Amino acid sequence: MSEYQYYEFQAIDRPLTAKEQATIQKLSSRVQLTPHRAIFLYNYGDFRGKPEELVTQYFDVMFYIANWGTRQLIFRFPKAIVDPSWYEPYELPYAITIKQTREYVVLNININDEDGGMGGWVEGEGWLPQLLPLRDQLLTGDVRLLYLAWLRAVPNCAGYAAHNIEDDPIEPPIPPNLGKLSAPLETFVELVELDPDLVAAAAKASKKATAKSKAQPPLEANLVNLSASEKEVFLLKLVRREPHVDLQLINRLQELAGPTDAAPSSVTGYRKLSELTEMMDEIFTKREKKEQEKARRKRIKELEALAPKEEKLWQQVVVLIKTKQAKPYDEATALLQDLRDLAEYQKKLPDFIKCFKDLQDEYQNRPALMRRFRKIKL
């Protein structure tokens, strides 16, 4: 299999200038470049740029995928809006890292499978548009993405003595609403192949969002508490069309409002990785039993519907066999499997076996048919 690497960068808060585009253009003559996006695709060779530096300087998000198992997301946030302490509890060496510059907080999520493959065809285009809303969620302090990334990455980091990671690490803070993921979070779970049963296990300790208390005054009520100089600063930001002025104002108004219990907070992590894994196995077993029982009831209904047609089905089997063609042979074999299951359900399996052996004796000179008949277990 040939090598495949896909990089996609997005500028969200502001478009790239002509000078910035010229700089990025120099990285590859085949780059797909617009003022808001840059795509680099490699089947051979490597990217000449440094992704994290490019995001820090020019872009707001990057998505990278390679067919040897690496999936990476890098986000850049204005420092005036986010609090790095939201993200720091989820840091893992080489997997989830946070860097700060004078203006920005850069979050790097790097999922790298140890087995070196993703099991199937890899396609990079189309993922990032589905994942972009994750940046807005992180901007507002929703750290569910980071908890999910920790769940996915920590098994590869467990026991990393150089960074004081125990063999059986304790989970980081458990954010609210893990039991009800947004569509972008579901896409991330699919992208990194995170076991949904492990997510369900983690969600057991996650608080659910509560409706805002009617007694709680709206944030707008705190506008009068803004000083004249603060109001002027916010107005200037609007005039200059700075990004996320609304979030900056909301954050300030929330500060003025003081603490509130309207929004659920994270729960301190207390479960070990092994405990979460055990819970995942229990959830899988229960779900599998439930699905098997559902499939069994469905099959019973199908068999009960076949019962009145039993005689006609035997006649149809003979008609199909006489065509001496592959597809009718397959159809006849499928009908015989249904008749066999019906006989077992009706406790008449010996009757089916007798009729089936009569067919085998009659058409034993047809090897292609006999090969299909051997798939029916008596």
Per-residue pLDDT tens for 287-335? 999 999 999 999 999 999 999 999 999 999 999 999 999 999 999 999 9
Q: Residue 72's pLDDT is what? A: 96
Q: Residue 217's pLDDT is what? A: 62
Contacts of 143 (CB under 8 A, 6+ apart): 86, 87, 90, 173, 175, 266
Q: 258 or 352: which carries more pLDDT confidence? A: 352
Q: Among candidates 337, 341, 332, which has minimal Cα distance to 362?
A: 332
Q: Residue 2's pLDDT is what? A: 67
Whether residue 117 has pLDDT greater than 70: no
**213 pLDDT tier (thresholds 50, 70, 90):** very low
Q: Residue 159's pLDDT is what? A: 65
Q: Tell me what the mean pLDDT of segment 354-367 comes to.
A: 93
Q: Tell me what the mean pLDDT of segment 6-25 comes to.
A: 94
Q: Among candidates 149, 147, 211, 134, which has minimal Cα distance to 179?
A: 147
Q: Residue 377's pLDDT is what? A: 85
Dihedral over alpha carbons 229, 234, 236, 237 (to 10 degrees): 150
What does the block give as tokens for 250?
Answer: 């909301």
Lowest-confidence pick of 74-88, 258-272, 321-335, 356-370 = 258-272
Whether residue 121 has pLDDT greater than 50: yes
Q: Tell me what the mean pLDDT of segment 353-374 comes to.
A: 93
**Cα separation, 80 vs 150, whole angstroms:** 26
Q: Tell me what the mean pLDDT of segment 54-79 comes to.
A: 94
Q: 17 or 45: which carries more pLDDT confidence? A: 17
Q: Residue 239's pLDDT is what? A: 79
Query: What does DSSP assign to residue 346?
Result: T
> Could you report the per-residue pLDDT of 217-254, keeping only the tens digit for each?
676 777 767 778 877 777 887 877 777 777 776 667 66
> Could you report the per-residue pLDDT of 263-283, keeping only the tens digit for each?
567 899 999 999 999 999 999
Q: Residue 102's pLDDT is what? A: 92
Q: Residue 225's pLDDT is what? A: 72
Q: What sign does the dihedral 265-270-273-276 (CA atoms) show?
A: negative
Q: Residue 187's pLDDT is what? A: 97
Q: Is residue 120 left, alpha or beta, with left meaning phi > 0 and alpha meaning psi from -120 to 50? A: left
Q: Residue 236's pLDDT is what? A: 80
Q: Residue 297's pLDDT is what? A: 96
DSSP E strands in the chain: the ranges are 5-10, 32-33, 37-42, 61-66, 70-78, 96-100, 104-112
Q: Residue 214's pLDDT is what? A: 45
